[in-house]
Structure 1
Amino acid sequence: MEWDEVIRMNIRTIIKNKGFIQKAVANRAGFSKQTFNDMLTGRRHIKADEIPRIANALGCDNSDIYSVPSGEAV
């Protein structure tokens, strides 16, 4: 599994688990709905300096976004 895929998967999981709406997270992080959607689908690379903005919008730590699921290798 690639890092980008881990990051996208973690963000989508956090959004789902917290019951958030993707558009609201995008707005809180300062992205358009389309840009954020492109990030989560892999059409746009998520830059390292954007992770803190996303984590803040999700109410989580940066490490939650970077965590690798057990049994997976990056």
Structure 2
Amino acid sequence: MSNNQIIINNIRRLIRLKGLKQCAVAEKAGFSPNAFSAMLTERKAIMAEYMPDIASALGVPVNELYKKGDD
């Protein structure tokens, strides 16, 4: 599994665990819902500089987005 896929899986998992709406997370992180959706479907790259904003919108530390499996 690629690093990008790990990040996407973690973002999706956190959205689900916290009972959030993807569009609300997108807007809180400073993205349009369409741009955020494109990132989560790998049609647009998730750049490293986006990570702090995404983590903040999810209410987690940045390293939480990079965790593999049961780490």
Q: How many residues align?
A: 71
Matched residue, 1:44: 44
* Matching of residues 1-74 of structure 1 within 5 Å: 1-70=1-70
Higher relative contact order (CA 8 A, sep 6+): 1
Give the Cα–Cα distance (whole angstroms) in 2 for the partners of residues 69 and 51 of structure 1: 19
Give the Cα–Cα distance (whole angstroms) in 2 for the partners of residues 67 and 44 of structure 1: 21
Hey, which bits of structure 1, 4+ residues long, moved more than 6 A?
Answer: none
Q: CA offset at residue 56 of structure 1?
A: 0.2
Alignment identity in percent?
43
Give the Cα–Cα distance (whole angstroms) in 2 for the partners of residues 52 and 35 of structure 1: 17
Q: TM-score, normalised by structure 2?
A: 0.96
Give the Cα–Cα distance (whole angstroms) in 2 for the partners of residues 29 and 12 of structure 1: 14
What CA RMSD, in Å, does the superposition of the two structures yield over aligned residues?
Answer: 1.2
Cα deviation digits, residues 4-46 of structure 1 (max 9, x gap): 0000000000000000000000010000000000001111110
Structure 1 residues not aligned, in runs of 5+? none
Q: TM-score, normalised by structure 1?
A: 0.92
Structure 2 residues not aligned, in runs of 5+? none
